[in-house]
């Protein structure tokens, strides 16, 4: 599938840029968006020429204003349960290579949850994060109650979920939800520059670093540290470790094979 319509996919050197493309609905995430994202992320993950991905929203107003309320409105419990609605997002979170969310405006409900699925978030100074599902009579459904709590702690996460209030970019950075805030006009340039930096790293080490940071969310400390050490040991079987350490000693840039 390359005839995407709900998203745009471009490659810029070794970086894939994916843009949510429903500006008329503030990039609300409907089933078509999800199907196309699953395809685009899988294509990125399996393309040996691509080493980092940036996900952003089209238009100046929104990254994504949530799951598509109009698509969900008439659904009943058995429809949602039988379809295991939202389970497809797990495929996006299984992406092994690095990816960044460049949040350019509203990241509400599912929009905030997709941003939190990324390895990290770079936000424009106009970004607004929130989990306003309570106002619709529901709750987060794409991981928000868990990932937001892990990111910013119980008190703030609980406050946001119970009041539905939005958090601005400065507060989001202070709270640890986003890695960096940049002026809106420079967001894409900064996110792509960061992605290029990552894409220039030894690819095996990039995937290993991602795996071990993520292990911190899944494993008890002793097990996580053991996992880290074993992966670290494993990289000593790679060409890029030999090259990386030789390049350091010889005072030259490394030349990576990904092997
Ligand atoms: N689903 C479907 N359509 C949406 C949408 C959404 N989540 N958010 C915005 N839109 C649509 C609006 O219906 C509107 O379309 P029409 O022009 O056809 O009426 C268009 O986008 C523009 O939106 P607004 O006119 O509302 O723009 P605004 O500037 O006045 O307000 C906003 C912006 C505060 C973000 C407001 O749109 C809003 O509150 N959106 C909904 C936010 C929300 O509740 N998100 C959670 C969704 S549920 C969810 O995500 C569940 C989950 O856990 C995954």
pLDDT in tens, 138-153: 999 999 999 999 999 9
What CATH class is the domain 7-200? alpha beta
Q: How far is the CA of 219 from the centre of ligand 1 (A)?
A: 36
For the cut 90, the answer to whether the pLDDT of residue 88 exceeds it is yes
DSSP lists the bridge partners of residue 18 as 9, 55
Q: Which atom of ligand 1 is nearest to the CA of 164?
A: 44
Does 160 score more than 70 pLDDT? yes
Pick from 26, 112, 127 the residue to mutate for probing ligand 1's pocket: most ligand atoms within 8 Å of its CB.
26
How wide is the angle at C-alpha 116 spanned by C-alphas 24 and 165, nearest 5°? 70
Q: Are 162 and 134 in contact (CB under 8 A)?
A: yes
The span from the CA of 113 to the CA of 99, in Å, is 14
Q: Alpha-carbon Rg of the chain, whole angstroms?
A: 19
What 3-state class would DSSP assign to 254?
Answer: coil
Q: Mean pLDDT for the chain?
A: 98
Q: At a CB cut-off of 8 Å and minimum separation 6, what does 130 contact?
A: 106, 107, 108, 109, 112, 160, 164, 165, 166, 167
CA-based end-to-end distance of the chain = 29
Give pLDDT tens digits for 178-235.
Answer: 999 999 999 999 999 999 999 999 999 999 999 999 999 999 999 999 999 999 999 9
- Would the pTM of this model clear 0.80, i.e. be above it? yes
Catalytic residue list: 67, 110, 113, 133
ipTM for this model: 0.98
- What is the domain partition of the chain in residue ranges? 7-200, 203-250
Distance from the CA of 79 to the center of ligand 1, in angstroms?
22
Per-residue pLDDT at 14 exceeds 90: yes
Whether the CB-CB separation of 70 and 24 falls below 8 Å is answered with no
Fold for 203-250, please state it.
Lyase 2-enoyl-coa Hydratase; Chain  A, domain 2 (1.10.12)
Residues with CB under 6 A from ligand 1: 25-26, 28, 65-70, 106, 108-110, 113, 132-133, 136, 140-142, 144
């Amino acid at each position: 599938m390359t005839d995407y319509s709900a998203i745009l996919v471009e490659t810029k050197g070794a970086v894939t840029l994916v843009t949510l493309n429903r500006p008329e609905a503030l990039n609300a995430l409907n089933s078509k968006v999800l199907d196309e994202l699953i395809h685009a992320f899988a294509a990125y993950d399996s393309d040996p020429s691509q080493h980092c991905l940036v996900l952003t929203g089209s238009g100046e107003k929104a990254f994504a204003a949530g799951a598509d309320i109009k698509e969900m409105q008439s659904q009943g419990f058995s429809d949602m349960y039988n379809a295991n609605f939202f389970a497809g997002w797990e495929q996006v979170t299984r992406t092994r290579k690095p990816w960044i969310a460049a949040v350019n405006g509203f990241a509400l409900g599912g929009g905030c949850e997709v941003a939190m699925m990324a390895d990290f978030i770079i936000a424009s100074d106009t970004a607004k994060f929130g989990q306003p599902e309570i106002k619709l009579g529901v709750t987060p459904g794409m991981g928000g109650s868990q990932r937001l709590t892990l990111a910013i702690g119980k008190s703030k996460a609980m406050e946001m979920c119970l009041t539905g209030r939005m958090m601005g970019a400065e507060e989001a950075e202070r709270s640890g939800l986003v890695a960096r805030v940049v002026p809106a006009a420079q967001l894409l340039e900064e996110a792509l520059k960061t992605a290029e930096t990552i894409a220039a790293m030894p690819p095996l080490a990039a995937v290993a670093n991602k795996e071990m940071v993520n292990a911190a969310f899944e494993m008890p400390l002793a097990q996580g540290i053991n996992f880290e050490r074993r992966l670290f040991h494993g990289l000593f079987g790679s060409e890029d470790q030999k090259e990386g350490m030789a390049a350091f000693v010889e005072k030259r840039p490394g030349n990576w094979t990904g092997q």
